[in-house]
């Protein structure tokens, strides 16, 4: 889906000397681009909500250290885009500000060496493994505007189903997605048919199957309206990414690149964006721990909530 | 100030097999204790705002993975207690919920080996270094109650003054504290005299001196009403902690153990709690980067805001 992105870089270093600095620079450029598309100066932003996968969330803190913006750092692993949108929307809805930006990123090379092995090692990946997306997405929220609109936010609970295979995040996160989506449908007293598109991110091939299986057991049919950002971002016929994409930047760039424009252009009227995160670290895996996961759901609509 | 704490443990492992699991268990016990003091069941909480220093914030996510609570993970390094309080107060003030808990922790042994050297190495510390507190603090916020009250929240901007010595966090964080406190006084059109106590956490001896020096240059006198959690938590005459305490658990346990009860008992009427964080990682330091820092300020009052 590269045609949907506002910018595609041929340089994984983004002109910097290290991958970590590259990821920060990518995130900084993404915010710049979003502001330029919105025709807003950076000084018009009242809050910046950001997060990423790196230890101590340095991609975000270094990206914005000269922005001068009130900064709220969040950690939700790969769920960060939905988490920042939900918290930012809550701030704006409550009158604490009129304009906020939400941004997140991931980088294959920073994630691979932090969570798995040095890239030079050339380790084999299991079929259940996902491929961390090198990407970033930014969304600017305003109290006014022509939409799309955020109408609801369902924050998730931590769910730990006992999966301890760090190469099978989809299986670890699917129960969290099931929990949050079920809570969302229950709270709003709606069925999946309320939405034109229900989008998880990033369960990958295996996790998405597990989620559909959970719903099928409850007699809930999601077919025809369900997809996963990890399955959308790559062409798995020609890109060897095993179970699909992952990383904060995956759902963020799919949402910002394809879904928001699609809501604006009438492709969909109502989308449920349910990003998922696996809250492990390499230390917790080395200590034999299972993987707590979380899912935040944000309802997006081309129409204002009534 | 050990007499102020609700619980003091003789076991740095909290009965667990590793320090990381110990920190999670400490944080879980702290929330339990706060709920028991408030005489509330855990199910009465509508949100849990949490964060810590460990890679991917696992102390928090593992502590609460069986809590069943809607979970918002934040990352503000050692500023996390003020950051969670500010965001949680915003949620409650805006009617998004009636009850939320804010919690954070740090552990000397997990931080030391993650950020510095293996404990067994017995590395010498520089005089400017601070000592990561093994501690945790939890605060439960409610829409109703007899106080103390949160009356204002000033979220900070990232400030990078070019300090790159990871053993001198106080110097890196003092400019952020100065920026946020100055913005707070300016926004509210008040002077430091408005507060009975202005409390940073954790600048330590050197950072606190730098902050007072910055204000003195502006002709602003903070004397007699300023202190720093990193200077309060240890008795530096008998505890060899160099420049003082640090870590999310330092300001959290000083606030929860001494300040909140002091507000309730009339020791102070108005306290400005300004926790500071250094947003570095060991990777950013190894790559020669300077240290972006942040400070969040939360006004606490024994009286309701008018």
Q: Are A58 and A23 in contact (CB under 8 A)?
A: no
Domain endpoint, select from A142, A172, A189: A142
Q: What is the DSSP letter of A175?
A: H
Would residue A248 count as lying in a domain?
A: yes
Structure tokens at B146: 């007899």
Mean pLDDT within B139-149: 96
**Nearest-CA distance A182 → chain B (Å):** 14
Q: In chain B, whose CA is at the least distance from the CA of A49?
A: B74
Q: What is the DSSP letter of A19?
A: H
Mean pLDDT within B216-233: 95
Contact B70 A157 (CB under 8 A): yes
Whole-number pLDDT of residue A304: 87
CB atoms within 10 A of CB B286: 11
CB contacts, 8 Å: B57 with chain A: 75, 279
Question: How many domains in chain B?
Answer: 2
Would residue B306 count as lying in a domain?
A: no
Q: In chain A, whose CA is at the least distance from the CA of B16?
A: A287
Q: Identify the CATH number of the domain in which residue B252 sits.
A: 3.40.47.40
Contact A284 B20 (CB under 8 A): yes
Give the closest of A56, A87, A93 to B72, CB-based.
A87
CB contacts, 8 Å: A281 with chain B: 54-56, 58
Whole-number pLDDT of residue B306: 66
Domain endpoint, select from A124, A142, A160: A142
> Please, what is the average pLDDT of chain B?
96
Contact A283 B20 (CB under 8 A): yes
Rounded distance, CA B181 to CA B297, Å?
7
ipTM surpassing 0.95, yes or no? yes
Contact B287 A74 (CB under 8 A): no
Q: What is the largest CA-CA distance in chain B?
A: 55
CB contacts, 8 Å: A72 with chain B: 74, 83, 87, 155
Mean pLDDT within B265-277: 98
Rounded distance, CA B198 to CA B181, Å?
9
Residues A124 and A165 in one domain: no
Residues A159 and A288 in one domain: yes
Contact A75 B87 (CB under 8 A): no
Mean pLDDT within B101-111: 98
Residues A239 and A285 in one domain: yes
Give the closest of A51, A68, A281 to B58, CB-based.
A281
Percentage of chain A beyond pLDDT 70 is 100
Q: In chain A, whose CA is at the least distance from the CA of B281?
A: A56
Contact B90 A95 (CB under 8 A): no
Contact B56 A294 (CB under 8 A): no
CB contacts, 8 Å: B114 with chain A: 283
CB contacts, 8 Å: B96 with chain A: 90, 94
Of B96, B296, B97, which Cα lies nearest the Cα of A90? B96
Would residue B293 count as lying in a domain?
A: yes
A195 SS3 class: coil
Which H/E stretch holds residue A54?
Answer: none
Chains A & B: contacts with CB separation below 8 Å: 159
Would residue A293 count as lying in a domain?
A: yes
Would residue A306 count as lying in a domain?
A: no
Q: In chain A, whose CA is at the least distance from the CA of B95?
A: A94
Residues B168 and B53 in one domain: no
Would residue B97 count as lying in a domain?
A: yes
Angle at alpha carbon of residue A137, lines to A132 and A141, rounded to 5°: 145
Residues B173 and B253 in one domain: yes
Residues A126 and A186 in one domain: no
Mean pLDDT within B271-292: 97
Does the pLDDT of residue B223 top 90, yes or no? no
Residues A135 and A276 in one domain: no
Contact A57 B280 (CB under 8 A): no
Please give the backbone phi and psi of residue A246, each rounded to the nearest 5 degrees, phi first: -155, -175
Read off the pLDDT band of B230 (50, 70, 90). Answer: very high
Contact B56 A77 (CB under 8 A): yes
Of B82, B49, B50, B52, which Cα lies nearest the Cα of B200? B82
Which domain range does residue B246 map to?
149-301
Mean pLDDT within B195-208: 97
- Each residue of B293-306: b (16+ CB within 10 Å) or e? bbbbbbbbbbeeee
Contact A74 B72 (CB under 8 A): yes
Tell me whether the omega of the peptide bond preceding residue B121 falls within 30 degrees of 0, making it cis: no
CB contacts, 8 Å: B76 with chain A: 73
Q: Can you give the pTM of this predicted structure?
A: 0.98
Whole-number pLDDT of residue B99: 98
Contact B53 A57 (CB under 8 A): no
Rounded distance, CA A244 to CA A232, Å?
8
**What does the pLDDT profile of chain A (306 residues) look like in tens digits?**
889 999 999 999 999 999 999 999 999 999 999 999 999 999 999 999 999 999 999 999 999 999 999 999 999 999 999 999 999 999 999 899 999 999 999 999 999 999 999 999 988 889 999 999 999 999 999 999 999 999 999 999 999 999 999 999 999 999 999 999 999 999 999 999 999 999 999 999 999 999 999 999 999 999 899 999 999 999 988 998 999 999 999 999 999 999 999 999 999 999 999 999 999 999 999 999 999 999 999 999 999 876
Contact B292 A18 (CB under 8 A): no
Residues B236 and B263 in one domain: yes
Three-state helix/strand/coil letters over chain B: CHHHCCCCCCCCCCCCCCHHHHHHHHHHHHHHHHHHHHCCCHHHCCEEEEEECCHHHHHHHHHCCCCCCEEEEECCHHHHHHHHHHHHHHHHHCCCCCEEEEEEEECHHHHHHHHCCCHHHCCCCCCCCCEECCEEEEEEEECCCCCCEEEEEECCECECCCCCCCCCHHHHHHHHHHHHHHHHHHHHCCCHHHCCEEEEECCHHHHHHHHHHHHHHCCCCCCCCEEEHHHHCCCCCCCCCCCCEECHHHHHHHHHHHHHHHHHCCCCCEEEEEEEEECCCHHHHHCCCCCCEEEEEEEEECCCCC
Q: What is the dihedral of CA B280, A68, B105, A157, to 10 degrees?
A: -110
Summarize pLDDT for B46-61 with one digit per residue, the tens. 999 999 999 999 999 9
Residues B115 and B157 in one domain: no
Contact B90 A90 (CB under 8 A): yes
Residues A101 and A160 in one domain: no
Q: Are A200 and A229 in contact (CB under 8 A)?
A: yes
Does the pLDDT of residue B267 top 90, yes or no? yes
Does the pLDDT of residue B15 top 70, yes or no? yes
Contact B72 A83 (CB under 8 A): yes
**Nearest-CA distance B81 → chain A (Å):** 13
Of A252, A260, A276, which Cα lies nearest the Cα of A26? A252
Contact A157 B20 (CB under 8 A): no
Rounded distance, CA B228 to CA B203, Å?
7
Rounded distance, CA A98 to CA A121, Å?
48
Contact A56 B53 (CB under 8 A): yes
Q: In chain A, whose CA is at the least distance from the CA of B113?
A: A283
Of A173, A288, A75, A159, which Cα lies nearest the Cα of B21? A288
Does the pLDDT of residue B305 top 80, yes or no? no
Percentage of chain B beyond pLDDT 90 is 94
Residues B138 and B155 in one domain: no
Please give the backbone phi and psi of residue A72, each rounded to the nearest 5 degrees, phi first: -120, 110
CB contacts, 8 Å: B59 with chain A: none
Summarize pLDDT for B2-12 with one digit per residue, the tens. 899 999 999 99
Q: Are B271 and B300 in contact (CB under 8 A)?
A: yes
Give the closest of B71, B74, B283 to A158, CB-based.
B71
Residues B104 and B7 in one domain: yes
CB contacts, 8 Å: B283 with chain A: 20, 54-55, 58, 114
> Best interface-test mutation with B: which of A73, A102, A286, A291 has the largest number of B CBs within 10 A?
A73
Would residue A277 count as lying in a domain?
A: yes
Does the pLDDT of residue B123 top 90, yes or no? no
Domain endpoint, select from B101, B123, B142: B142
Does the pLDDT of residue B32 top 70, yes or no? yes
Would residue A285 count as lying in a domain?
A: yes
Contact A58 B96 (CB under 8 A): no
């Amino acid at each position: 889906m590269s045609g949907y992105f506002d910018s595609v870089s041929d340089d994984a270093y983004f002109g910097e000397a290290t991958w970590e600095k590259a990821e920060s620079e990518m995130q900084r450029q993404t915010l710049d681009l979003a502001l330029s598309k919105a025709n807003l100066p950076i000084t018009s932003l009242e809050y910046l909500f950001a997060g990423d996968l790196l230890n101590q969330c340095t991609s975000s803190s270094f990206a914005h250290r000269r922005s001068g913006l009130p900064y709220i750092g969040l950690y939700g692993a790969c769920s960060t885009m939905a988490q920042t949108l939900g918290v930012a929307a809550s701030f704006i809805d409550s009158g604490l500000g009129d304009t906020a930006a939400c941004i997140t990123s991931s980088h294959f090379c920073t994630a691979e060496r932090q969570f798995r092995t040095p890239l030079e090692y050339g380790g084999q990946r299991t079929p259940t493994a996902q491929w961390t997306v090198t990407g970033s997405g930014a969304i600017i929220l305003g109290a006014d505007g022509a939409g799309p609109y955020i109408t609801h936010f369902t924050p998730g609970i931590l769910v730990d189903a006992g999966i301890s295979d760090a190469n099978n995040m989809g299986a670890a996160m699917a129960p969290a997605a099931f929990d949050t989506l079920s809570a969302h449908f229950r709270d709003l007293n709606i069925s999946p048919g309320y939405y034109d598109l229900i989008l998880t991110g990033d369960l990958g091939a295996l996790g998405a199957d597990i989620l559909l299986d959970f719903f099928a057991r409850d007699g809930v049919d999601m077919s025809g309206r369900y997809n996963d950002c990890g399955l959308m971002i790559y062409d798995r016929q020609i890109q060897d990414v095993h179970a699909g994409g992952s990383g904060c930047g995956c759902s963020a760039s799919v949402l910002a690149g394809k879904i928001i424009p699609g809501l604006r252009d009438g492709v969909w009227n109502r989308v449920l964006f349910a990003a998922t995160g696996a809250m492990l670290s390499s230390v917790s895996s080395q200590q034999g721990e299972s993987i707590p996961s979380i899912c935040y759901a944000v309802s997006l609509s081309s129409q204002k909530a009534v």
